[in-house]
C-alpha cells in the first residue's frame, strides 16, 4: 500500500509523519503549483469550487508518482465537500487510474486507523494518535509564533481555503509580510473537535449570538463557523477580518452579509477574497496591502 492525501497547509508534514508511524508507505503530496493545478482544472466541472480542483490535481500527481491508495477525510456536512471523494474517484477511474479510495469520517475515524494499521497493537495505535494530536497542537503553536506584526487580522471562511496556501495564494504569509498578526478561525484542531462533537463549550457565547442573528436557521458547510469566529474576533478587538472563500461557495456567500453586519456593528474593517484558478494573484496582493494600510490608518487616527 502506497498512500497519498491532499496537501493541508502546515499540517501536511503532520499527516506524513502519522502515516509513517503506522508503517504505511507514503507518497508525499507535492506543493500544488500552477502546472499541477492545471490537471485538476482540466477534469473538474468548470463551476466546481477551487478546493476540489486542487484536491483532484493533487490526487492525479500522486497517482502518477506511484500512489495506489488515496485518503480524504469526509466531514459529512452539507456542502459540496461531502461529494469530493465520490466525484474524484469517478473522474480518476474514468481516466484509467487504478487505486482504492479510503474515506475516514468522524464516526469511523478510530476504526479506520485500526484497519489501515492492522499489524500494530492497540496500545501503540493509541500512543500514535495521542502523539499526532500533540503534533497538530505544536504545529499550530509554532505558526502563531510567526505573528510579530502591529495589527491583528482574523481569517474566517471555507476551511480548506483558509489553511491551504495553494487555495488562497499564500494569504497568511503575505499578510505577515505586510506586518499583520494572523489568526485562522477554524484550524485543524478545532475542525477535529467539531467533527467529534468535543467543542460544545468553546465559543458558547459567540454561538448563541450567531444563532440569534440567523433566527435559528442553518447555513451549510463552514458558513456558521465563519459567523461564530467573526463574532469571536470582533469581541476581542481584532483590527480587521477577512472572509476567504472559493468563488462559487454557497455557504460562505450566505454568511458574508452577516459577517459584514458584525464588522459594521463593531466598526471593524472587513474584506472578502474569492479564489479560483482565474483570479489574478497580483490583484489579491494589492488588495491585501491596501487592507493592511487601511487598518493602520484607522489605528493611527485613534
Per-residue model confidence as pLDDT tens digits over 30-51: 998 888 899 899 999 999 999 9
- Assign domain 2-121 one CATH number from 2.60.40, 3.40.50, 2.115.10, 1.10.10: 3.40.50
CA distances from 139 to 145, 146, 212 (A): 10, 11, 35
> Can you give the pLDDT at residue 143?
94
Q: Which pLDDT tens digit goes with each residue over 81-123?
A: 888 899 999 999 999 999 999 988 877 777 788 878 867 888 8
Task: State how beta strands 2-4 and 151-157 pair.
Answer: unpaired
Beta-carbon-side half-sphere exposure of residue 120 (alpha carbons within 13 Å)? 19
- Reduced to 3 states, what is the DSSP secondary structure of residue 252? helix
In the chain, domain spans: 2-121, 145-301
Helix/strand/coil percentages in the chain, nearest 5: 55, 15, 30
C-alpha cell at 192: 477535529
CA distance 172 to 164: 10
What is the architecture, at CATH level 2, of domain 145-301? Answer: 3-Layer(aba) Sandwich (3.40)
Do the first three CATH levels of 2-121 and 145-301 match, i.e. the same topology? yes
The DSSP call for residue 28 is P
CA distance 75 to 65: 27
Amino acid at each position: 500500500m502506497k498512500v497519498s492525501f491532499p496537501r493541508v497547509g502546515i499540517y501536511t508534514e503532520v499527516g506524513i509523519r502519522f502515516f509513517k508511524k503506522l508503517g504505511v508507505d507514503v507518497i508525499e503530496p507535492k506543493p500544488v503549483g500552477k502546472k499541477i493545478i492545471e490537471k485538476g482544472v482540466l477534469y473538474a466541472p468548470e463551476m466546481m469550487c477551487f478546493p476540489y480542483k486542487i484536491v483532484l490535481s493533487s490526487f492525479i500527481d500522486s497517482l502518477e508518482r506511484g500512489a495506489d491508495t488515496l485518503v480524504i477525510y469526509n466531514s459529512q456536512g452539507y456542502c459540496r465537500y461531502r461529494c469530493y471523494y465520490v466525484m474524484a474517484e469517478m473522474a480518476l477511474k474514468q481516466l484509467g487510474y487504478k487505486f482504492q479510495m479510503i474515506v475516514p469520517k468522524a464516526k469511523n475515524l478510530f476504526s479506520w486507523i485500526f484497519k489501515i494499521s492492522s499489524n500494530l497493537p492497540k496500545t501503540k495505535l493509541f500512543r500514535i494518535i495521542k502523539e499526532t494530536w500533540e503534533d497538530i497542537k505544536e504545529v499550530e503553536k509554532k505558526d502563531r509564533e510567526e505573528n510579530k506584526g502591529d495589527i491583528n487580522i482574523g481569517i474566517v471562511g471555507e476551511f480548506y481555503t483558509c489553511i491551504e496556501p495553494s487555495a488562497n495564494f499564500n494569504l497568511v504569509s503575505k499578510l505577515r509580510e505586510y506586518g499583520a498578526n494572523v489568526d485562522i478561525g477554524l484550524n485543524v484542531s478545532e475542525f477535529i473537535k467539531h467533527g467529534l462533537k468535543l467543542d460544545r463549550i468553546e465559543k458558547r457565547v459567540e454561538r448563541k449570538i450567531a444563532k440569534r442573528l440567523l433566527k435559528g436557521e442553518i447555513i451549510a458547510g463552514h458558513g456558521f463557523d465563519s459567523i461564530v469566529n467573526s463574532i469571536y474576533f470582533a469581541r476581542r478587538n481584532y483590527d480587521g477580518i477577512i472572509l476567504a472563500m472559493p468563488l462559487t461557495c454557497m455557504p460562505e456567500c450566505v454568511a458574508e452579509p452577516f459577517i459584514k453586519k458584525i464588522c459594521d456593528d463593531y466598526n471593524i474593517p472587513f474584506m472578502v477574497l474569492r479564489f479560483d484558478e482565474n483570479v489574478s494573484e497580483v490583484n489579491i496582493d494589492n488588495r491585501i496591502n491596501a487592507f493592511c494600510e487601511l487598518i493602520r490608518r484607522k489605528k493611527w487616527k485613534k
